[in-house]
Structure 1
Amino acid sequence: MTISGLGPHGERASPPERVSLLPEDLAAARAATRRVAIVLHTLDGDWTKQQISGMLGIFGDCGVVVTEVIDCGFSVNRQVSELDRLIVAAPDAIVALPVANEQVAAAFRRVSESGIRLILLENVPTGLLPGKHYTSLVSSDNFGLGKMAAAGLAPHLVEGAAVGVLGFAADFFATNEREIAFANWLQANRPDVRSHVRRFGAMDEAAELALQMIADHPDISAFFVVWDTPANAVATRLQSAGYTPAMATVDLGEDVAIALAAGRQFVSVAAQLPFQQGVAAARTTILALLDRTVPAWIAIPGMSVAQSNVADSFQIIWRKPAPARRCACLALRPDGKSRTVRSVSIG
C-alpha cells in the first residue's frame, strides 16, 4: 500500500516497518527503566482507545512505564498547562497529539528545550522541526484518506451534484490534508461536482452547521465530514430533520460501521489503523530513548471501506469481531416520506 501525501515539511513517508524492534532493542529497553507520558487531544472515541492500546502493549513489553495518559479535551489552554506540568515531572519522553499549531508551539518547544524526547502524532505545531524540536511524527496517510473518501463517494453522485464539505476550523495538519485531498480528487476526477465548504470549531457545531448548509444550498445531496464522530452527529441530525444525503467520512467507529452495514447514509469510509499507529509510535519512542536513528515521518496507510467489506474491515481495524448485535435502523420508502424500520448487524 502506497502513501499519497508528504509530511508537514515535505518529507517522504517511511513505513512503520522501519521502526521494528530487534531482540537486543527489547533487552536494552527492559534494562533501562524509562518513563513516558501520553498527551492526547481527547480520550473519547474508538480511534483513541485503539491507539492507546497499541502503545501500552508495546511499552509494557519493553518495561517502559506510562506515567500518565492525559485528555486535553481539544483545549489549547489545557494542553499547554499539562505540557508545562510534565516538564517539571520530567518523564524521559512524551508522546503527544497537538490540538493546534501556532497556539501550542511555544509549549512544545519548551518540552524540547527541557531535554524530554518528543514524539508527535498526526500534527506538528508551527515552527517545530524534526531532529531539532521533536524526534519523529507518526501519523496516518491523511492525504490518502481524503482521496479514498472522495473515490468511494463519487459513484453515488449524479452528474452535476453538489457536495457539502465539513472541515475542522482549527489549523490541523491531519484534517487539512484530508480536506485538500478530497477536493483535489473531485476536481481531477469529477469536475462536474460542486462543493460547498464550511468548517466547525467544536464537535457540537457540526450537525447544526450541516442543517444550515442545506438551508443555504438545497441542492446538496451528499456530505464529506473529516472524521467519524462529528460525521455521525451530522447523519443523525439530518435524518431526524428528514434528510438522508449520501455520506463519506474518515474512521470506522462502531456507530458509523453499523450505519454503513445497514446502507444508511454512509457509503464511503476511509479508515485509519489506529492500533498499528499506536504500535509504531511506541516503537519509535523506544528506539529514540535508545538513541537509535528514526525517520522524521512515519505514515500508516489507510483502508477503503464500503458496505461490501465493512465486517472484515471492522475486524482488521479494531482487532475484534464485528458486532453481532442487531440494531433498529430507519429507512425511507421510495416516495421519500414514510419510514419503515428494519434490523441489521455488521457481522
Structure 2
Amino acid sequence: MQRRRYLSAAALLCAALIAASGCAYTDSDVPVRGDRAAAASLESMRGQVLSKGPYGEDPALASDITLTPEEVAKVRSRKATAAISMHYTGDDWTAAQLAGLQKQFDALGIEVIAVTDANRKPEKQVSDIETIMAKHPDILVSIPTDGVATAKAFQKAADEGVHLVFMDNVPKDMKPGAGYVSVVSADNFGNGVVSAHLMADALGGRGKIGVVFYQSDYLVTQRRYDGFTSTIKRHYPGIQIVEEKGFSGPDYAGQSLVAANAMVSKHPDLAGIWGVWDIPTEGIVSAARSSERPDLVITTQDLGKNVAIAMARKRNITGLGAQRPYDQGVTEATLGAYGLIGKPAPPFVALAPLAVTRDNLAQAWREVYRSDAPPEVQQWLHR
C-alpha cells in the first residue's frame, strides 16, 4: 500500500483539523443511513473475497492456510531463519503486519534475523535485499516497492534457494511455485466495493459524488478504484460520479485537500467524496471542514488512526473498508513454513474486506490490529 506519511504543512493541518475539538459539528449533521439494497449487499459480502491474483488466480482464504502439529514440529526442528524487507515501516498497517509475522515466526521456532525499511525507494530495497542475503535467511517476506526495479534482486534470492513470500504484489516475471511460494493480499477490489456500498447506504442511494484516486501505476490502488467506481455505476443509478481528481504524492493528504476543495467549490451540491486510502482521505475530511460541509459523506479504505477519530467524532467519514494486516502477517509467516517443508501452497491468498462504521469501530479496530482502539477514538465512541 502507498501509505507513507509526509509532515508537510498541509498534512499537519489535516491532522489538526480532524482532531480539533472546537468545531460546530453536531450529531444532527451526520448523514442518516438508509439504502436497503446497499445494506443487503454489505451483508452478502461478509467473508467473501472478490479479488484475483496477479496472474488471474482464484483466491484461497487465509483461514485455509494451516499446519498440522506434525508439520509444526518439522518446521521447528529446522531451526530456520527469516528476513522481512518492507517498503516502509512508519504506519499502523506495517506495524500490524510485522506484529503478525513476528508472532507466527516465534510460534514456529523461526528466528527473524533482519527487518528492513526501503523508505519507498526501489534502489534502497535492492540494497536491503543484498544485505539480507549476506545473512543467508531461509525465508524472505517482502512487499516490492517496484515490481520491475526490484525483480532481479528477488529472483537472485530465489535462485539461491530462499523461500519467498510476497505481500500484495509480485516482481515482474516471477511465477508461483518456481520463483516464490505465494502472495498474500487484502481483497483490494472487494474493499473498493465495500466502500461503494457504504457510500450508497449513507446517501440513501442518491446524490452527486467525487472520486479522489492515486494517479500512479499501482495495482492495489487501481483495484480499489475499479471496485468502487464499477459498483457505483452498476448498482446505483441514482448516484452520479461528477468529478474525479488524481494525486501523485508525496504529500498525499495535502494534494487530496486541494483536490477535494476544488470539487466542493465546483459542485456546491456534491453529496459525497471517495478517497482511495486513509491518508489522502484525511485531506478530504479537512476540505469538508474548511468548506463548512458537515453533511458531506466520505468513505475510504484502511482503518488509520486519524480517520478512526473522525469517524468516532461523526466527522464526515461514515464508513470504510478495512484490511486485516495482522492476520495477513500470520498467513505470510505460515506460508514461509510451507516453503521450508515443501508443502504445496496456493499461489494467491486473500483476506476478506471488513466493512467498518461507527457502530462497529471499536470491534473492528481489535480485529484489524489485535489491540484496543486508541484512547482518542474510544473517548468519542462513548459520547
TM-based fold match above 0.5 = yes
Change (3 A) 1:6 1:326: closer
Q: What amino acid is aligned across from residue 104 of structure 1 in structure 2?
A: T
Identity of aligned residues (%): 28
Checking the alignment, whether the CA contact within 8 Å between 2:323 and 2:354 is kept in structure 1 is: yes
* Matched letter for residue 79 of structure 2: T
Helix, strand or coil for the counterpart of 1:267?
strand
**Alignment match of 2:156 (pick from 87, 105, 110):** 110
**1:121–1:137 Cα contact (<8 Å) kept:** yes
| 1:228 alignment partner in structure 2 | 278
2: distance between equivalents of 1:7 and 1:72?
A: 24
Q: For the structure 1 residues 82 and 201, does the alpha-carbon distance in structure 2 shift closer, same or farther, using more than 3 Å as the test? A: farther
Quickly say closer, same or farther: Cα 1:282–1:259, change in 2 above 3 A. same
Match of 1:281 in 2: 332
- Three-state SS of the structure 2 residue aligned to 1:48 is helix
The question of whether the paired residues in 1 share the 8 Å contact of 2:285 and 2:315 is answered with: no
Aligned match of 2:380: 344
Q: Tell me the equivalent position of 2:38.
A: none
Query: Aligned pair 1:207/2:254, yes or no?
Result: yes
Match of 1:218 in 2: 266
Mapping 1:80-229, distance limit 5 Å: 80-157=126-203, 161-191=207-237, 192-215=239-262, 218-219=266-267, 220-229=270-279
Once the two structures are superposed, residues 121-164 of structure 1 have per-residue CA deviations (whole angstroms, 9 ceiling, x without a partner) of: 01123322211222100111111111001110123347774433
Equivalent position of 1:314 in the other structure: 365
CA distance in 2, matches of 1:196, 1:275: 35
Secondary structure in structure 2 of the residue aligned to 1:89 = coil
Structure 1 length normalisation: TM-score?
A: 0.87
CA distance in 2, matches of 1:199, 1:100: 20
Instruction: Report the Cα distance in structure 2 between the residues aligned to 1:144 and 1:12, rounded to whole angstroms.
Output: 14
Q: 2: distance between equivalents of 1:187 and 1:315? A: 33
Q: Post-superposition shift, 1:203?
A: 4.3
Report the more deviating stretch, 152-161 or 16-25: 152-161
The answer to whether the Cα contact below 8 Å between 1:323 and 1:345 also exists between their aligned partners in 2 is: no
Contact 2:256 2:283 in 1 (8 A): no
Cα RMSD over matched residues? 2.3
Q: Secondary structure at the match of 2:149?
A: helix
Aligned to 2:106: 60
Distance 1:34 1:62 in 2: 9
Do residues 293 (structure 1) and 329 (structure 2) align?
no
Distance 1:248 1:266 in 2: 6
Greater mean deviation of Cα atoms: 216-225 or 301-310: 216-225
Give the number of the structure with larger relative contact order, counting CA–CA contacts within 8 Å between residues 6 or more apart. Answer: 2
Larger displacement relative to structure 2 (3-12 or 156-165):
156-165
Is the 8 Å Cα contact of residues 211 and 241 (structure 2) preserved in structure 1? no
* Aligned position for 1:35: 81
Count of residues in Structure 1 that have an aligned counterpart in Structure 2: 332
Q: Tell me which of 276, 282, 300 is aligned to 1:249.
A: 300
User: Within 1, Cα distance between the matches of 2:166 and 2:246?
Assistant: 24
* 1:48-102, Cα deviation, whole Å (9 max, x unpaired): 1111111101101111111111112222221122123323332111100112333
Checking the alignment, whether the CA contact within 8 Å between 2:146 and 2:171 is kept in structure 1 is: yes
> Is structure 2 residue 321 aligned with structure 1 residue 270?
yes
- Structure 2-normalised TM-score? 0.80
Q: Is the 8 A contact 1:101 1:171 kept in 2?
A: no
Distance, in Å, in 1 between the alignment partners of 2:77 and 2:227 is 45
Q: Is the 8 A contact 1:258 1:345 kept in 2?
A: no
SS in 1 for 2:321: strand
Cα separation, 1, equivalents of 2:205 and 2:257: 22
Which moves more between the two structures, 14-23 or 50-59? 14-23
- Runs of 5+ consecutive residues of structure 2 not aligned to the other structure: 1-46
Moved more, 141-150 or 72-81: 72-81
Contact 1:165 1:225 in 2 (8 A): yes
